[in-house]
Structure 1
């Protein structure tokens, strides 16, 4: 799993649908997730530390967790099926842990309100992420090509005492 942060909300140029954009720590990969208007507003409110006069749905959920001494340990975006992302909230109450199915947009809105880490499975990132720093990606590929082109068969010969030898 890779921890990701919310980079912001964008609008799809063609459809004008909101997209929440997650970024990895190295800022090399971004994961765009299409979301609804209400979730976009809720995420933006959390990013801007805006508190509504009365609790909205995500605020209510956080209040509920606090009143019942529950903590959100992490959000996990675990799969992508038929262009739909799936997530779980890992919630703890004392020693009891539960995973609760959630839409990623709701999970992200709640995670922002509770300062909870957002994790994404590597398979999801491999399937749906977009490169952010193409120059760094190309430099890494070139460094790997250079490394491979300079390998020789003798580089694979074991040197020093064998790990299977017995000592007396």
Structure 2
């Protein structure tokens, strides 16, 4: 994997007129001058990410809340999320967990991994390769 750059979820754009919702990632600490790129995600993932950003929870657990409960029930610590690759216009992510003294890396959709990162307030990293290929 190429060098990792710390990033942050800059914003989530939910559109009622288009099918794809947008999550903007940008280099952390660089403000508007930093590199940034967008990942198109589904409406359910966008709503879950927005809820996580606002610290809100739905009245009944949905998929992401179920994931949080499973992780908490297993005493798994979310260490970080990495947007690791971009291949054929598809982004890839890795969720890094610590369970006891063991580190586990789980392949994940970026939309799910980023929602988990926002919920647990853990660092987000993007490979330099992804920034080079996707940044505006």
* TM-score of the pair, normalised by structure 1: 0.73
Q: Which has the larger radius of gyration?
A: 1
Aligned partners of 2:11 and 2:25 also within 8 Å: yes
C-alpha separation between the residues in 2 aligned to 1:63 and 1:114?
12
Instruction: Identify the residue that residue 118 of structure 1 maps to in structure 2.
Output: 124
C-alpha separation between the residues in 1 aligned to 2:66 and 2:40?
23
Structure 1: which 5+ residue stretches go unaligned?
Answer: 131-168
Instruction: Identify the residue that residue 30 of structure 1 maps to in structure 2.
Output: 36
Where does structure 1 differ by over 4 angstroms across 4 or more consecutive aligned residues?
Answer: none
Instruction: Identify the residue that residue 53 of structure 2 maps to in structure 1.
Output: 47
Bigger proportion of residues as strand? 2
* TM-score of the pair, normalised by structure 2: 0.89
Aligned ranges for residues 1-168 of structure 1 at < 5 Å? 1-10=4-13, 15=18, 17-25=20-28, 26-27=30-31, 28-130=34-136
SS of 2:60's equivalent in the other structure is: coil
**Displacement of 1:49 after TM fit?**
1.3
Query: How many residues matched?
Result: 129
Deviations 1:87-122 (A, max 9, x none): 010111011111111000000111111111110000
SS of 2:113's equivalent in the other structure is: helix
SS of 1:112's equivalent in the other structure is: helix
Change in 2 beyond 3 A, CA 1:68/1:16: closer
**Displacement of 1:31 after TM fit?**
1.7
Higher relative contact order (CA 8 A, sep 6+): 2
C-alpha separation between the residues in 1 aligned to 2:103 and 2:46?
28
C-alpha separation between the residues in 1 aligned to 2:81 and 2:72?
17
